[in-house]
Structure 1
Amino acid sequence: MAFWKQLNSIRWRILAPMVLLILASNFVVLSSTIDQLDEQLVLSLKGDLNSETDIVSVQLQASIRELMRDTAWLRGLPPIDGMMRAEANGGIDPLDNSTLQAWKNRLAIIYSEMLSAKPTRVQIRYLLADGHELVRIDRFGPNNSVRVVPVDELQDKSKRDYFLEAKHLPPGHVYLSAINLNRENGVIKQPQQGVIRAATPVYNDEGKLHGVIVINESVDEIFNDLLKLVRPSHELRITNAGGEYLLHPEPHKAFQFDYGERSNIVDDFPELQPLFFSEGGTPVNALETEFELISEKQIVVAKSINHNLLSDSGHLTVVLSADTLAALSVRQNVFQRNAYIITLTLIVALVAGLFVTRYITAPILQMRRSISRRKANLFDLPLPVNAPGETGELAQAFSELLTKLDQRQANLESEIAERKLAQEQVESNVKKLSEANAELQQFNYIASHDLQEPLRTVKSFVELLQKNYADALDGNGQTALRFIIQSTTRMQELIFGLLNYSRIGVDAPRVEVDVQSLLGSISQDLAARIAEKRGSLEFHDMPVIRAQATEVRMLFQNLISNALKFSRDGVPPVVKIFATRIDKGWQFCVSDNGIGISEEHRERIFLIFQRLHRRDEIEGTGIGLAHCKKVVEMHGGKIWVETSTDGGSCFCLTIMDE
């Protein structure tokens, strides 16, 4: 019992977590070290593979470019010009009386010397314009010696792809064929040998094709040189544009496509498929593309390079891989060494912890006894605030904290009560405002409706008086009657405008509104006024919006009518309407070339019954723009006016999404 009590003591409760913390921290450090070591080893291996891939790619490209330079150099040899001169002069060169055969022999000697100097070269040929071989030098003599192929062994290459491609090239260009196995008379030559062919056309002085120079380069020799650049623990693979192997650690897997068999890198490394094929299986051009694949078993680095400068599809892919587990084998030694260090550290920490915890827990045990004697609860805990050392300071700080928390709780409850009261007041004000708006709207409607009846009566009697008793009145009387009729008419228009203003948006739901169609309808309604003014209305590609259809129609009709009304004398009005998508809505602009609006009046014009011109100059009630503003605000937007590019007015408004 005493033993278990000791284990539950404060000292052991401190010591046990400390030991566990040491174990956990060392485990974390060890794991982190191993992970970092693994990461560094993988990064180092990946860096080596990337470096070797770059070196192999550069060397491969250098070999191919050397082949292209040599091919281009052969094009300018004197024997070729000599043969063309001899052919044009009955078989004799007029410059030195050399025969055509003499020039062919000289060309064969030069080709033989190059073949002897370049071990990677398999064949050098000169094909005539019809595809027949004129001169061919190869390494198929006794013991693979260089030989001049006899005339009876020369072949017709007019159907071969490299000849067909090269003969259409402009002067100075070199064609590179795909890499495949060497064939003689259509049959793969044994032992098999991978070759790449470089071909360049030769033109005479008249610009006609005379022949094609072809060099067969052994890629086997090039690949052997590339393998010397790679570490023995790394595996080098080279594929063509379709992913078929040209070089593989297992030689029998290379060039299987020449036998109608499949040996593709995508089958071995499916992750490399994007370098060769799209998701639909279509070949892709992956020029100068790099790819890295890191897995638990292997690290693979691939790089696509362009070996055919005349074709974007003629790329090769260099792939280097290495075994990940072999690179990570060093971590086992690191793990064992760190395990010994952790064990020794744990023993030392355990012994030291026994002494340290005894010293630390003494005042805490004293505080526990004091609290136990007082038997305090959590909310009213009498603490030994006068105790010496850290225990007293801890008790004092805890007491002050409780006091501050109580005060903060009281403040929080008071603030919540105040906010609740403010919320209730806001809701009450909103309700009153809604009721006031409804009453005001009802008042406007009733007042406008009731005012119309006496006005109609006055106007009717005045018109009757004018009709029946106009002859009995002198000129002043008749003028007075006209003024009365005009005034009552304007008053009716104002009341009608006020009535419409109060009705805007009442119980009108938002619906789909095709603004293009809407403006077309307005244009038809205003066709007579537009024709009278000799004006034009332009609008294109208007959107479909959700809005109150009637109100939006009145909005645009008011703006277009104003643009026609406030035109300059002698200048046909041009009204243009634009629409722009904005965040959560649409912005419309109605621009004209009229008289414009000065900046100091641009706010006042949107107030009800506000006019900038006398009625005898331009007719109107002064309600139209106030009407427009109310419609726009009902749709969550705003309206303003600017100066248009034509010097007139440009009314811009926004209608927000529902």
Structure 2
Amino acid sequence: MNWRRQKIDSAHKNGVDEDIQKFKRKYLVFGAVIILLAVLSGVMLYNSIKGERITQLRERHEEQITLAAIDINRELGDIGNTVRLLSTDSDILSSLSPFNQLNTLRLKTIFKQFGRAIDNLLQIRWLDDTGHEQVRINIVDGKVHAEPAEMLQDKSNRYYFQNAMKVFPPEIYISPIDLNIEHGEIVKPLQPVFRIGLQTTATKGMRRGLLMINYDLTHLIKKIRSLSSGETEVMWVDAWGNWLLHPDPSLEWGAILGKSKNSLTQLDPLLWAKINSGENQIIMPHNGELISTRHIALSFTEAPTVAESIYMLVRTPKKVMEEIEWSAIKPTLLLVIGILLIGGRILWRDYTMQQSLQKMTLRLACEKNELKFLNSELDNALSKQQLLQNELVETRKLSSLGMMVAGVAHELNTPIGGAIMAESTLQSSHDSLKKALDEGLSRQAFDNYISNTEEGLKLVESNLTRAAALVKSFKRLALDRANDEIVSFNLDQVVSDLIYTLTPKLKNSGTRIVNEVNTELMLAGYPGIVSQILQNLIINALTYGTEGMQQGEIIVQAELNEEWVVLSVSDNGKGIPPELRESLFDPFVTSGRGLGHTGLGLHLVHQWVTNLMHGQIKMEALSRGGTRFVIYLPKNIQSSQS
């Protein structure tokens, strides 16, 4: 009996030892898995935190570049309107008439009036076709005075005169940003300027020459310099790589001040080469820094021998990037340590539970409960995913509407600025008339007042009419997109309003939109969704199809058959790569991932057309090149639902 007991005990002991070895091997594997999980989780958290901060910095870069570009374009537009308004002044036309003697006295008077009315002007002058100044007005500290005849200079050898004479009306020449130079000496303190010139020609009833304005950029540069923050630095570089705006003022204006080594081309030729390789891009990393760039053309003309430009840079210094990395490393280390501690604790507890069958049963029960919890978490995750998808759709709508708001606001700036300028001219004419009444009103003064008033009122009416049309169009578009009820609407009106609000995006794209929709075509449905569908297709065509083309064309057509309204958007661009055609309407499919595109645009279009509008959509590759999207919509959505 004892022998059998000893044999059973020995067998039992051997079995226990074997189980212990199995447990050890099992927990060694579990320990390795926990370590691997901790490392992978740490890497994911690190990349997530760092990626989010980089994304925020990129958005801040884009915001600062956009604000600076808006300020520059606003200044260009305002001063361009000033030159055009100056060139249409009846007194200037009369004074510069080739049939009359050059009336320099009258020119000085008109130039003085403009010098007092317009801020930030340094000089107004008229040069003859040989480059000699005939009339020149200087504005210093708000005081306006005419330069004596003996102080007038020969500017025929200056680059801005030579380039401006190559630009023919109605185009306006805008010089590179430069420092103001008088009598061969740089004016101190430094005055950054650009010069705006408009040719006077016989075709406009004037002597051939050049109307030119020197515009002070000190206030603009100060405003853009203030955009810099602790994490970002805003900089300007001209077309030759010279710093115009830099956090270190000693590097600015290097070439002009005789410090040619203080330029981007000398200090960082690799960065300069990257900037020249594209108009808008994000350069990262570059010496541990995050840099965003944008190319801005200053001149209104496209003549390559005349056009001038600058580069806008926003830089996040290396120190800030290192702080971002460290801010991502700290929570990552805490997560890894936490996972290891928690995992080790779980392993130890589980090991002790294996000592008895009861603890094993308890462990199995816990695992069952954990499975239920995971299933519940999965259900919650699916619900959150659906909510996230809906939020993405709404975000895309708001993003599109926001782009249009920015475009309409930019478009409104020009007519409203023109109206304000015309009102200022009318006020000046009114003051002149009052003065003439006190001193003795002449027939010529009264005729001049009537002529100036008529022209000013026409200009005010034209600009305000355009502003009202922009507001009216955008109001219709915004109301349509806010309305989720089925209404009757005119398809041509929806297309026209959309094209109107996309005008700012089309201006420098080289692409035009042709509306061939029947003006009498009426539908019952969701005009805001139709507008959103067309906007996504048009923006896709601009971004991927006609980008970089000089004669791009997007055609919107619609026709009515017995059951459907057939709506199409076609372009003459590059076409869609064959590898993307089969999955074109799938979510997150895009060839512009490197540009920050999500690939949701065409997926949302497909969802709106098929699920909401109860229609169909297909893509066709055109034999002549380009792409055509064809959409079949029921004429009356209510009847299709029934």
Using structure 2 for the length normalisation, give the TM-score. 0.48
Using structure 1 for the length normalisation, give the TM-score. 0.47
Larger Rg: 1 or 2? 1
